[in-house]
Amino acid sequence: MRSSFDDPLAKGPPRSPEASTRRGGELDLHLLPSLVVFDLDDTVWWPEMYMTAGSFHCEPPGSTRVVDRLGEELTIHPGARVAIEEMLNRPRWRRANAQIAFASRTDEPEWAMEAMRLLRVCTDPRGREVTLEDAVDHAEVYPVRSKTEQFHRLKEKSGVPFDEMLFFDNESRNVREVATLGVCCVFTPDGMTVENWREGLAKFEEHAANRGGDQESRGGARPGLRRDGSFGSLSAGKKGSGSGGRIFFRP
């Protein structure tokens, strides 16, 4: 899971109310989500696991092209790639110690974990290639009746309250159910786009401003990321409240 980048930016002083709030520049860190959660099938990647034949591998060997046993290619949606790259490499995200999670109800969790190990999403600040598995702090990937169950587990594992989470999913049912926990949710019906990412951040900023406060008024510092190379939390193939949240549907 999340690799150790040994980045001095992540070890800086706590965020302060005096941080710049200009748009397009460095936002107040308290206006960034503490945990960004992505669905996998047709949010992070395409095609969905049930549409593939499994047995993923790189073809040709050593390349970045991931295919199933029938040669069907698995690709990362542009918005998911941009979001994860920015969270791993942009200084303001690293100062914020924001965490990344995947929450998927796939019926093929082993295939999904195999895909996460192979799909390369970006490079780190030292130029090393980063896979989806390297990038994520927590993964809840298994069949479940409602994603709210996975979010309760993510809240427990990450230490992040629901109202400091931002969630992207291509299924309106998942978005509506998770929003009841107080999570800021973004509907991505066509797979995650860069526009979804930008609009989601803007929506979360509004969400954070509406709940009114700086980090101290919300109960202290957010948990730090593991930077010693150790894994976060991973659940595959097994099952693991708050006020109403905002649902953002792109028109």
Bigger pLDDT: 23 vs 107: 107
10, part of any domain: no
Catalytic annotation, pick one of 41, 137, 163, 169 = 41
Asked whether the beta carbons of 204 and 184 are under 8 A apart, the reply is yes
Nearest of 169, 231, 180 to residue 1 by alpha carbon: 231
How do residues 214-251 score in pLDDT, each as one tens digit?
444 444 444 333 333 333 444 444 333 333 445 554 33
69, part of any domain: yes
Nearest of 105, 106, 113, 111 to residue 132 by alpha carbon: 113
Question: Would you state the structure tokens that stand for residue 20, as one six-digit string?
Answer: 């710049």
Bigger pLDDT: 25 vs 88: 88
Asked if residue 48 has pLDDT above 50, the reply is: yes
The total of other beta-carbon atoms located within 10 Å of residue 215's CB is 18
Nearest of 47, 49, 72 to residue 142 by alpha carbon: 49
19, part of any domain: no
227, part of any domain: yes
Eight-class DSSP state of 8: G
Bigger pLDDT: 210 vs 53: 53
Output the pLDDT for position 224: 36
Question: Which range of residues forms the domain containing residue 141?
Answer: 28-249
How many whole angstroms separate alpha carbon 230 and alpha carbon 236? 18
The total of other beta-carbon atoms located within 10 Å of residue 168's CB is 27
7, part of any domain: no
Tell me how many domains the chain contains: 1
The residues facing 38 across adjacent strands are 102, 168
How do residues 172-214 score in pLDDT, each as one tens digit?
999 999 999 999 999 999 999 999 999 999 999 988 888 765 4
Has 228 been annotated as catalytic?
no
Catalytic annotation, pick one of 6, 7, 28, 39 = 39
Average pLDDT, the chain: 81
174, part of any domain: yes
3, part of any domain: no
Query: What is the residue-wise DSSP string for 206-217?
Result: HHHHHTT--TGG
For residues 56-76, average pLDDT:
96
CATH of the domain at 106: 3.40.50.1000
124, part of any domain: yes
Has 41 been annotated as catalytic?
yes
How do residues 4-45 score in pLDDT, each as one tens digit?
444 434 444 333 333 333 344 444 788 999 999 999 999 999
Output the pLDDT for position 16: 37
